[in-house]
A and B are shown apart, each in its own frame.
Chain A
Amino acid sequence: MATSDEAAVQQVLGGDRDAFRVLVERHSRHVFRVAFRITGNEPDAEEVVQETFLRAYTRLQGFKFDSAFSTWLQSIAANCSFSLLESRNRRDKGRVQPYEDDEEPMEFPSGSPSPEKLVLSGEVGAKVAEVMEQLSAAEKTAFVMRHFEGNSIEEISKALGTADGATKNCIYRAVQKMRAALQPLVGPTR
């Protein structure tokens, strides 16, 4: 019988370091998916995967079993991805301030989509990728967590370290940008 997440966590906390392998193998692909959608490229996503599991291991004592382990892990992955995006933005632009609470987030369009994005078939897919590139780090993280992963506002706020209102604003702004780009392609206009 496969070891449950809770049992594996207890084993690790009891001193069995190799029990963490069960959790890594079980959740790696999900973590990669979250990381890829937020960071937008494979090398960054791979880095986030490693960092996520490392943080999860060192913080395992703080896991309270009040949510699913996968949800907790996903929150760490989102936070790592967000931090990575912000640090890249700061280095690239040199004048960026990190997004905080209800402050208007800075936007850093990165130009043309990367080759990975262009593989997406269809004009809609390309447009989605283009809009994602134009979102700020906070908007991108909040939107991915809400739209693709189904996280609640509270979970997203906790991962980003922001207030619920700011999280809702981020999601709303991301949706507005999607709508502006995709409406001509998919929506009937009346």
Chain B
Amino acid sequence: MTHLTDEQLVATFYKDGDTRSARAHLGACEECRVRMDQLNAVLNNVDLPVPERGDDYGATVWHNLKGHLPEEVVRQPWWKLPSTLRWAAFAGMAALLFAAFLLGRLTEPSNSQIAVKAPIQQSPAPTVSTPEEKAPEQQGSTQQVSVKTPKAGAPSKTRDRILFVAVGDHLERSQMILVELMNANAGEPLDITTQRQIAGELVSENRLYRQAAQRDKDKSLANLLEELERVLVDIAHEPSKLTGPELASVKQRIEAQGIVFKVRVVGSQIRQREQRKQTTLGKST
């Protein structure tokens, strides 16, 4: 007699697929029945209690979440609207396209350069990554970064896109530093020479992006960058060798702000937005 394999016994326990033949075999084969009983005894004892969450847990989650939800309300796409509204939406889009065409015909974008001086302590590779970036000229302790910006009054999509790509990179690098520190063993001394150095460079970049966000009245991004800057400044000013208690204190400060999660969320949103833009550009060429 061919006995059931262990995989078949597991599938029978979880009722995966057609288990009729397996169950019929179990009725006829004592050896397999014993094995099945053993498996039942093990899996029926597998429990993993979960810490209790109170009745107000959901409200707490909502309170923490709502500030991070995208400003743009998730709406149904226009093709799911009733037909009358669909035609109205189509007419509105056509009007917008015509207006954009007229605007494009009447205005002529031009490029102007602004130089941003970012003082740095050392001379690493350029820290601002933009598609139109020129090679930075390092003179002594300052680094000049050129960012092409469209003329004021012309569409600012190019500038926004450049900023998005750069901010996304910046958040990713900041996140790496924060996570490295959070994952270090609390209570044990740690040499953070490298993290301090990188945090210092990130502070300079962060100031630029924060100022740009404030200028563009992007309040949520500006607030996030402000919080991030405080944390990065903290790290940059710590001693190179942290004792166990000092490391625990750094971790506690990072955790108290929830900054890792915030940076991850916004970084993810920026990447998704950039991917969507690239998909749109790819389709239109």
Contacts and interface: CB of A to CB of B under 8 A. Distances in A.
A14 B82 CA distance: 12
A163 interface: no
Nearest to A9: B74
Interface string B252-277: 00010000010011000100100000
Which of B58, B70, B73, B179 has the most A CB atoms < 10 Å from its CB?
B58
Interface stretch (A30-38, A70-78, A97-105): A30-38
A26 to B, nearest CB: 7
Contacts of A153: 16
A2 interface: no
A161 interface: no
B191 interface: no
Interface residues of B, number: 46
Most A-side CB within 10 Å, residue of B49, B255, B261: B49
Nearest to A129: B48
B101 interface: no
A50 B61 contact: yes
Given A25-B59, A187-B38, A178 B46 contact: yes
A17 B66 CA distance: 9
Contact of B261 (A21, A26, A47, A128): A47
B73 A15 contact: yes
Nearest to A116: B51
Contact of B70 (A37, A58, A91): A58
Given A146-B14, A172-B10, A183 B38 contact: yes
A85 B83 CA distance: 46
B43 interface: yes
Contacts of A124: 45
A188 B38 contact: yes
A129 B179 CA distance: 25
A118 interface: no
A6 to B, nearest CB: 14
B49 A120 contact: yes
A176 interface: yes
B183 interface: yes
A108 interface: no
Given A153-B16, A178-B42, A28 B48 contact: no
B53 A61 contact: no
A132 B48 CA distance: 9
B43 A147 contact: yes
Contacts of B272: 58
A37 B7 contact: no
Interface residues of A, number: 61
B41 A188 contact: yes
Interface string A154-190: 0000000000000010011001101100110111111
Contacts of B6: 172, 176
B34 interface: yes
A53 B74 CA distance: 13
A14 B69 contact: no
Given A26-B58, A171-B10, A172-B6, A179 B42 contact: yes
B183 A17 contact: no
Contacts of B264: 51
A68 interface: no
Contact of B65 (A53, A178, A188, A189): A53
Contact of A54 (B37, B48, B57, B265): B265
A9 B55 CA distance: 22
A65 to B, nearest CB: 12
A61 B78 CA distance: 12
Contacts of B74: 12-13, 17, 57-58, 60-61
A179 B39 contact: yes
Contacts of A147: 14, 43, 46
Contacts of A179: 38-39, 42
Given A24-B61, A58-B74, A42 B46 contact: no
Interface in B18-38: 34, 37-38
Closest 6 CB pairs of A and B: A25-B58, A28-B58, A187-B38, A187-B41, A28-B61, A24-B62
Interface of A: 12-17, 20-21, 24-29, 32-33, 36-37, 42-43, 47, 49-51, 53-54, 57-58, 60-61, 88, 91-92, 116, 120, 124-125, 128-129, 132, 144, 146-148, 152-153, 168, 171-172, 175-176, 178-179, 182-183, 185-190
